[in-house]
Structure 1
């Protein structure tokens, strides 16, 4: 099979699928990209058996065929070739040669029929939503996912659809981040899926460069999301997500409204002298201010104060400074509202400019 394609027409879809292809694989063919050419259309696919990315691009010619070549070597070649160059491919069973101007390369090829087939299954729920809505959902929650937790279902993101709304939830057992928004045309079904951590991070990377609408197709074992000329698919985590709604405070006897930038600055400064392992910081909340204190095993101490609008009785509570900072950094408004049930209860952090985001941080003993 012989065909030609412009460098830019090949490089863009290749860059889209390369993120899922690991440099070192247990199966050599997983280091390759699957390329299928048919009737003026090229499709590139990459997978690590858990996540699959597929991108399409137009090309001239009537040739058809399938082959695989080392993905990163092909991308490096395309990236280093001059702009506007035309690549001429000559595909043979065990090798692929490509030429651009006076540059010529020969790459090893593996049979396309040996490339793993990613089973999508019949969709149980299908809906369209703005790609940027999905991006914001991931952006506001992914930081709270667990990493290598024995509770495997926490090493991912819960995506829930019900009553015309989409909800994203992430938690590592010490904190929880929640995003919720309405979606027009949502199917009248209630469904919960858990997307694994790697899939969440890869999807967030892709969505950063996508505008317009996305089509979400949820099957029994995977979810597939289509964006224009490429698609993303990931196998779901089996298991049931914990009842996260139980940890969301329903009432608050103490409410604090504080400037987000001032609180973030004070937390960052005080945390310097906190315990390096636990990052514990004490918040003494009284009338008109928050006093922050930290100390470490070397008996070093730090203290700072931030003015705040406080309603309720004075109290003190301890938190992991890193968890508080992650939640505060995800807030977009200039001020942040912190609601407490009691001195031993969790803290609900809310964005005053957007009610779609909520963050819960569990306290710690200091």
Structure 2
């Protein structure tokens, strides 16, 4: 096998797949990329046994072939390669020569026949959607990361469901860690989404997809048995679904009661960032006091000190004092695109709802902490 490829066509791709190839599995071959040269393209395949990636890129192929090469080392070589074109040649006994002339690398490959099979996208139905919409949906739900030592499927996965009610069609993503919950809606008119019931997609797999979502206008999503599929023009992701029941999240989304408090998103965000300076692993909470058109935020940490900041708001009624983890609000405010947000709070022991002043497609529910 021998081919020449433009460094700029492959460098960023090699960097983005590192999240897949560096995950620990029981197979050393998953640390490699399977590279197949055919005609005038090179196909790159990566998998961690749960997420599979395939991409095809233009190349000048002198002789076709198939190799498996360490993904990290190949990326490091290509990233800093001094010329715009990179020559790759398989020599003997699975040795791979990269470069020629004044710079050459000789890297030992692995047997490509040992590379795991990844699901093939067949002729099943795919749903076309706006690529930037999917990017925003993932960004606004993946901020609630799963915990490494938490085996609960609904914590490590993002719930995707297709809600059809008469003429109304909405694709919804939901994410939770037990202390907060985010939902994002994507209303659509055309097409039929093949997601007929709710599915659980691993957050780490969607995080890999997120790296590849760029300026393209549309893409396709669908199902292939027990795998979620994201298909771009020349790249495909297949992500094995998680098994498990998702909690009935609709029960905690209660609109229309409590206090709706409009605030400036940036101003509120900066207040919380300043107050979170004194937070630590043992003291994560800050106290919110709502009273007489004033919000007072206090942080107390016996190990460090204390702080207080006041912010003018529109609030009337009985005072409410509640404790929250400021990081949850900071995460939420960082992904809302409106300049203004609405905070809905009912009492010290009820969830707080946060959404944009105009864009209601994203909603964050944050549970209070015990004072």
Instruction: Give 1:303 shift.
Output: 2.1
Q: Which moved more, 1:149-158 or 1:36-45?
A: 149-158
What is aligned with 1:54? 54
Q: Which runs of 5+ in 1 are unaligned?
A: none
Moved more, 165-174 or 249-258: 249-258
Partner of 1:27: 27
1:161 aligns with 2:167: no
Aligned to 2:115: 115
Aligned length: 365
Matches within 5 A, 1:1-366: 1-22=1-22, 26-61=26-61, 63-120=63-120, 126-148=126-148, 149-163=150-164, 164-183=169-188, 184-187=190-193, 190-207=196-213, 209-274=214-279, 276-297=281-302, 300-366=305-371
How many angstroms does 1:332 deviate by?
2.1
Q: CA deviation at 1:277?
A: 2.1
Give the CA deviation at 1:274: 4.9
CA shift, 1:86, in A, is 4.8
Contact 1:251-1:341 within 8 A present in 2 as well: no
Alpha-carbon distance between aligned partners in 1 of 2:280 and 2:11, rounded to the nearest angstrom: 47
Q: Specify the SS of the correspondent of 1:350.
A: strand
CA contact (8 A) 1:222 1:235 kept: yes
By how many angstroms is 1:120 displaced? 4.4
Q: Is the 8 A contact 1:168 1:178 kept in 2?
A: yes
Partner Cα separation in structure 1 for residue 81 and residue 215 of structure 2 = 26
Deviates more, 1:256-265 or 1:134-143: 256-265
Moved more, 316-325 or 185-194: 185-194
SS at structure 2 position matched to 1:147: coil
Distance 1:104 1:270 in 2: 54
Distance 1:298 1:88 in 2: 57
Q: Is the 8 A contact 1:281 1:294 kept in 2?
A: yes
TM-score of the two chains, using structure 1 as the length reference: 0.90
Unaligned runs of 5+ in 2: none
TM-score (norm 2): 0.89
After superposition, the Cα gap between the structure-2 partners of 1:8 and 1:276, relative to the gap in structure 1 and judged at 3 Å, is closer
Contact 1:13–1:57 (CA under 8 A) maintained in structure 2: no
1:124–1:220 CA contact under 8 A, matched in 2: no
Alignment partners' CA distance in 2, 1:353 and 1:67: 52
Say which is worse superposed, 185-194 or 212-221, in terms of deviation.
185-194
Deviations along 1:74-123, whole A, 9 cap, x unmatched?
A: 22222232333351523444222233333232221222111000134767
